[in-house]
Structure 1
Amino acid sequence: MGKFTFKLPDIGEGIAEAEIVAWHIKVGDRIEEDQPIADMMTDKATVEMESPVSGVVTAVAGEAGDVVSIGAMLVEIEIEGAGNEVDEAPKPVEQAKTPVEAATTPSDVSPASRGVESEKVAEKPSEEAKIELVTAQSDKVTASPAVRARAKALGVDLGQVKASGGHVRHADLDAYLNYGSGQGYRAPGVSTARPDESVKVIGMRRRIAENMAASKRNIPHFSYVEEFDVTALEAMRADLNANRGQRPKLTMLPFLIVAICKTLPDFPMINARYDDEAGIVTRHGAVHLGMATQTDAGLMVPVIRNAQDLNVWQLASEISRLAAAARDGTAKSEELSGSTLTVTSLGPLGGIATTPVINRPEVAIIGPNKIVERPMFVGDTIEARKLMNLSISCDHRVVDGWDAASYVQALKKLVETPVLLFAD
């Protein structure tokens, strides 16, 4: 028996360390080659680590939430054989020769008999030759013994399975069984259900959970939803995009932000932050608009500074820049804090209505929902109109229901009469 030390490999350019997000194994477990052992989170993504060998786990590099440096020990595994005490990568095991290869290996066949043996192979029945050819093709595929054994039990030719990472893995075999064969084949008794998994809440997800829990625990939320007719605004947006030149393409969001900023001076209680420990509400003059953005690491809120001073084109550029910075991890700390009001939009996934959670210590959050086309009465006629519900959640300690409803109605007037967005 020997010890194999699996060190954390280089999993990305410029990455010096990674956080253990979840273990899939524990000390004492028997694991197989290619079996998932841990999820590691860098500042850019979460990567699943797989065991390069089969054996028994004898040590792990800490608990979920701990940080491991690149090149440091992640898992120690007791294996059959010498192990890698000298830090050498395990050598590939020479695979057994196929029947075709065994019959035609020069060292096994004398020169005098090679011609006769070739004639015998050529005279084999076509079906037998096909079976041996498929076996040979399958054996030439790079795959672990565990994958080969499973494929053999399922009657799958590995030569027909597309390898995603240089060699065939269990996931590639699963994809072939469900889709690649064209028949949605699944062997009897093989379940596609994933095992239950307990994942410790750490890293960005833990911070999000703590912030959301504090918000709901401390803030008495109420939500108000109104329907907006955005037919005219969508027509204006299309005209501006058709003549934008080198400027960025406009979505609905820049127009909505302009409307929000124009309406806030009459409703200062909406653009505010509440320090409930000091008992002070600060009503802000400038609009530092938080923009809820979904990233691989979780929900982040980059901030558009002084949004009231930007036009729709400038807002579109800033929205794109901040969203990209949040998603690729380059956003600065000052770009992720200090918002006075937040907008959260799911775009085409916006649903009919939302009840967003306030970004504490702010006192309100606005959520536009998806645009749908429906028939509406316009005077005495029925017309196809583009409609969008808009939700607002408020802190009832600071904002009264009447104030929230009045603010949304003022917002509705601007959105439904979009020329007012560009009037001084």
Structure 2
Amino acid sequence: MFPSLPFPQEVVAIIMDYLHIDRATLLNCARANKQLAYEAQSHLFRTIDIGDKATLDKFVNVLKIYPGQRPRGDLINHVRIIKLRAGTPSSYSGLGSIASEAWPWLLEVTNLSGVLRNVQGLHFEGFDWRVHPVNATLLSAFRKFKGVSELGLLKCKFTTFKDCEAFFAACKGLTRLSIDVPTWEAIRRKGEDIDEPQACVEVVQFDKRAHRLTFLRIGRTCPVYPVKSWLATTSSLRYLRDLCLDELDPSDIADAGHMLSQLGRNLVRLKLGCRYDSDYWSQWKITDHIQLSRNTNLRSLHLGLIDTQDLLMIWVPLVLGQTRALESLTFDIRLWMQSQLNGENWNKLEEVLLGDRFPRVTFVQKGNVDQQGPLDLEGTKAVLRARFPRLSAFNKPQRLYIVEEQKHASKPRPRYQFAY
């Protein structure tokens, strides 16, 4: 190994934070010397991805958790998030069912709770809990991870929302919740009279007021109403500061607006995306439901421009017209050509952005979605600067920022915090 670097450990930690998505470089740093190894390992082992029994055995072997072995405490202490997938990460390509042999390795993961005491997050991806219903044995086993405060459910299938609530109950100190692309056989909406299937498991009895969410993400195809109703039974409305609503359908706008009004001045950061391609006329009614003027402490607003057609951009200037001064305004955008930014509503957006309420405007270029792909970063910069010349004038303070989408934040951040 190379000798230690002539830098304080705090400086080395900051350098490693910039490299936290570059696993190849982190692996090289882990082999360089002890000073770099500790910081590199904190990123390499922070998230453990397990998709089958073989992956679990490999993980256990690296950490030497088998009986009779001395565990690698220097690595174990770095583990913060465990991701469990219905299939191996290399071959996983979509929704899958839990194979009959999956239960043993899932329970084996819970047996590691006595060793992995620093785990803060559990993520489940692609599990079909209708085929192998959620049961009290499994939930009680996951409750052994007493330090878990973050729960993620991605592409999971449930019989009813009550089965989903069972996972919430399994995390006593839940503060961060993310639900993306879920599937329920039936969801009872307000005013509807349907025969909802019986839940597969009785929700674990616990005091819902103990849940105090500070971050909530309602992802794609996830109806807002059941989550909003559950949220009202907890103490989260007083503590929720970060809310992410990825892709709202017109049918969810009213429920989303009601949730925002309940949060009131507690909300600090909001990400909002609306999809109106099936009912573009309803954009004019968005201000009847979503009134951000009530969220007086809102400091950061992130809007997802799912479709940049001028006809589907009506809602954007309407929403921005309600906000007060913001510290940060961000747009997600995917561009193929400059003509996408032409039209009356884009002109209205430019006039709104020129106001003093938005000292910093950031456009985040979304990644490729097909073989043709959108414009590259330089092309996106050229198009946006040409479209908003008064925001990027050389004789004025810099107000327009254009960056490339990354899986995680590229700047140093408080360790073990999760970026959305």
Please give the range of the TM-score, normalised by the shorter of the 2 chains: under 0.3
Given the two structures, how large is their TM-score scaled by the length of structure 1?
0.20
Higher normalized strand content (fraction of residues): 1
Given the two structures, how large is their TM-score scaled by the length of structure 2?
0.20
- Between 1 and 2, higher relative CO (CA 8 Å, sep ≥ 6) is seen in 1
